Amino acid sequence: MQRREFMAIAGGAVAWPFAVRAQPSSLPTIGFLSARSPEDSQHVLQAFYRGLKEEGGYADGESVRIEYRWARGNYALLPALAAELVGHSVNVLVAVGGDASARAARSATSTIPIVFSMSGDPVEAGLVQSINRPGGNATGCIVFSTGELDAKRLDLLSETVPGASAFGVLVNPKYPPSVNQASAVRAAAEKIGRAILVANASDDAELEAAFAAFLQQKVAGFVVASDPFFDSRRARLLAFARENRLPGIYQFREYALDGGLISYGPSLTETYRQVGLYAARILKGAKPSDLPVTQPTKYDLVINLRTAKALDLKVPQSLLVGADEVIE
């Protein structure tokens, strides 16, 4: 095993792609920091590569070199991984997979250009001075997939399972927006007259305990709050829903494509494409301070009718008509 591979694994990250390729040292370097895992990020990486290609003709290993670091949902690893990338003297530091990645990148450097994606307010987080004129060394994309959208997901699930009296809500207390997520969902539950069981999970053991609590309390379905940790456990979440015949609603289209009942949120692939576009523009000489922070203009409702049929659920026609995509 080469030293670069060993250091990546020892640091809690796995380089992606897994093979270490000989690359010219003169190539510009992008540091890619993610709170997610490589296994659940292949499709969004392709969108990131498209952005690099479209804006600057960049391709990994040919005209640019990319150093990858993955936290796999363990946010405590991010500061060290960000510092490691900064130590490689990268030309651009990409920080994706949520607010914790963006904050770790910002703490690691005030000079290297940063392109982030996050769901919180980058002004409040101290990453930029304003949305339109970021100033400083950071810019990027706001995903806006938490808080009010988590509440909206509860409403959508309630419409799909109208006879339910109680739902489960899965929240990661270590995710910065989690307080707003829980309060928004509680307010939504009170408004529609539904009881909810909020279960906290920030590691695999707590996730299993949350599943057990949902089954013990006999919830009629569950909402997965927006969080990169849960995205890195997408297969396990969907398996739990399938094995226990529980309707679930999630943040990204990828969940519905993989068998989840409903997803509602912004396009994750478009976000990563935009990050790639900005990274390429910076490599070509643009300054982060001059690149406005982008925001989603559309939220997609995706319904998997195959899953609904397996659960003996009749999805209301009003939801089907309003859906952006129906999987049959």
Domain tally, the chain: 2
Q: Are residues 164 and 257 in the same domain?
A: yes
297 or 272: which leads in pLDDT:
272
The tens digit of pLDDT for each residue in 142-162 reads: 986 567 888 999 999 999 999
Residues 84 and 57 occupy one common structural domain: yes
Both tokens of 137, joined, read 């060394």
Residue 19 and residue 136 share a domain: yes
DSSP per position, 70-94: E-TT-GGGHHHHHHHHHHTT-SEEE
pTM (2 d.p.)? 0.78
**Which residue bears the tokens 């992008």?**
30
- Digit-coded pLDDT (tens) for 199-216: 999 999 999 999 999 999
Q: Do residue 229 and residue 139 come from a single domain? A: no
C-alpha of 169 from chain center: 17
- Do 65 and 191 lie in one domain? The reply is no
Domain limits at 9?
A: 3-144+267-290
Instruction: Give the tokens for residue 286.
Output: 């643009």
> Quick one: 228 exposed, middle or buried, by C-beta within 10 A (0-12, 13-18, 19+)?
buried
Tokens of 97: 């997979």
CATH number at residue 18: 3.40.50.2300
Rounded CA-CA distance 67/86 in Å is: 11
Same domain as 164, residue 77:
no
Please give the helix or strand (H or E) that residue 103 lies within, else none: helix 99-108
Let me know whether 274 and 318 are in one domain.
Answer: no
Interval 227-255: pLDDT, tens: 888 988 999 999 999 999 999 999 989 99
Residue 143 · residue 272 · CB < 8 Å: no
- Are 167 and 154 in contact, with CB atoms under 8 Å apart? yes
The answer on 132 and 22 residing in a single domain is yes
Q: Is 35 found in the same domain as 153?
A: no
Give me the amino acid identity at 184. Answer: A
Do 32 and 9 share a structural domain?
A: yes
Average pLDDT, the chain: 89
**Span 112-127, pLDDT tens digits:** 999 999 887 899 889 9
Specify whether 273 is located in the same domain as 256. Answer: no
Task: Looking at the structure, tell me whether residues 36 and 79 fall in a common domain.
Answer: yes
61's torsion region: left (phi>0), alpha (psi -120 to 50) or beta? left
